[in-house]
Structure 1
Amino acid sequence: MSDSEEEYSYDEDMEVTVEEPPAGVTGLALAEHYFGPLLSPIAATPANWTAYTEHRRGANAEYKNVFHRRKRSISDSIAPIEVELGLENGTLRQCICILDRLVERDDVNPRNADALVRIYSPAAPKYIDVHIKYHCRSRFYEIEWFYSLGYKIYNRISGSPTDYLSPSLNGSPSLWHCRGGWQSICWGFFDDKGNYGPKWHRSEVADMGLHEEGVLDVHEALFGPIETPPRDDADALLAYRRKLVATVRLLFAALGIDYGVACTEDETDERPYDFMLEGLADKWVGIRAACGFQLSSDAEAARRGKEERRY
């Protein structure tokens, strides 16, 4: 089963129109007119905000906006993040356009996926493109599996909204999001060198490419700078961690991947139910570590994963 746009088709696309602004409105006021309320918009020149508005309007006209496509996998993945951040319904979903999307499924789970989406910042004249290339297919003895997920921050609005730079998919998945301004989030594959037939086993090669500096860059691009709280202020520290985790989860959710991440010891992680991002039992997609913290259970999970990889 293949769908070049979206795999679920519950509702028709919504038609949304906005009245033209009064003559002479430019800059931040123009952005607020079409996309407000913006989230504590950062200081920028009127020219930058006007360019942002025209660019985003052009993207919405050319591509499919997530908020206008209710009850779809991407929309359903992002809606809980809006609730967790205390945002109005649709605040983040209306910032996302699907530039290109191909999903081929084996009944329920994706066999092949190649998707590129754009997240316009609700707080700054910037945007981020997010991309995934994915393959997972069961054979008689083996499982073919490889993927890479990455992002590219555009700190300056320029060019046409229909201009975008897809990552180079030459070489290993570890290289796909490391060129042309792209940054890796995570990647993985099963190594089949000398590993095939009845004796095949899951020999995973994988890594988390996203680190704390990158998370802060993404947060600044989407929501503005964030201050690090005092280490002795437990409530402020937890709120800070939740904001960073939500920022990373948004990158996954923009592609329809809902990865629940615990921020306290009494919470649990929830892996995506369709995309296989981790090939073994341990959860090495270290969103917490990328956000600068760990839970007590993470060390034991890492130990079990290391033990599993010995065989």
Structure 2
Amino acid sequence: MSLRKYQIKWPIVIIAAFAVALLFVWESHYLKIETDILESMPQSDPVLSDARLIIKHLPIQDRLFIDLSNESADRNKLAGAAVIITDKLIRSGLFTNVGINDEVRHFPDLMNHVSSNLPLLFDAEKLENEIKPLLETKRIKEAFIHNKQSLEQLEGIGRAEMIARDPLGFSGIILRQMSLLMPSGKAQLYQGQLISQDGKHALIIAKIAGSGTDTATGAKISALLQSIEKDLPAHPALQGEKYSLNSVGAYRAALDNETIAKRDTHIAIILTTLGIAFLLLFAFPRPLIGLLALLPSTVGAIAALFVCSFIFPSMSIVAIGFGGA
């Protein structure tokens, strides 16, 4: 059968291609692709809903932890590098809070709260084992002598009110328990930075603006950290020393999961397309006409996403990826 009997109506082809292109542009602009893994979970299931609520309120969920390390043990340069990184993180707009300055400012309030609520912070066992020995005459005299000596020295400046509230140091028992919350018992606070005992590592903590599991934000954070690590040696204050940044957080896990899912999806799509194309080449007497059978599925996928842009406010990137595979 001659192909001359079937003339290609190019105006119809051009109009159809233009319509498909318009659908693709529309869905690209108006269909929101949800990259937050938590938002991709089913919303109606009560178990998953409670789990999502718990995860969203985890303190570590939206935190970024950076280990800044340097081979030399120069605390001044390490603290200076931490300040530079903190400034860059703040100016990026990806974080609402960087560093531990806010926590340090709240420490006096914590001390006042502990000393004002001592009766509520001890159970019967602690009163018997830890408080009772401090009420012995000898221990009371020692406490008063220590308080007098501390008030006569520089370390006693500003502590008069606290000593008046808690002259026997009962609050020290509570604060020792809270010291377990420190990242390391040997960490030191130096120039407003949390530095390891050997002076080679500094811990920088930042609070991410938005969700810590949003992979779009995670990709921006990852690129920012790589840029900072690359630019640090060129900073005049650091004199060409090499620093390394190792970051952890929920954003990293979400970003790695998305990267793995994307890679697997791309491989699945490529292998599936090649397999179908291979079958079409042998199933049709005219190979090129057989390859045209791939067009309906492509146009159908674009049309389906166009319809979804009107029905759903957003679609999970996981659903689109595996649906395409």
TM-score normalized by the length of structure 2? 0.19
Q: Which has the higher contact order (CA 8 A, sep 6+)?
A: 2
User: Higher helix share goes to which structure?
Assistant: 2
TM-score normalized by the length of structure 1? 0.19
Greater gyration radius: 2
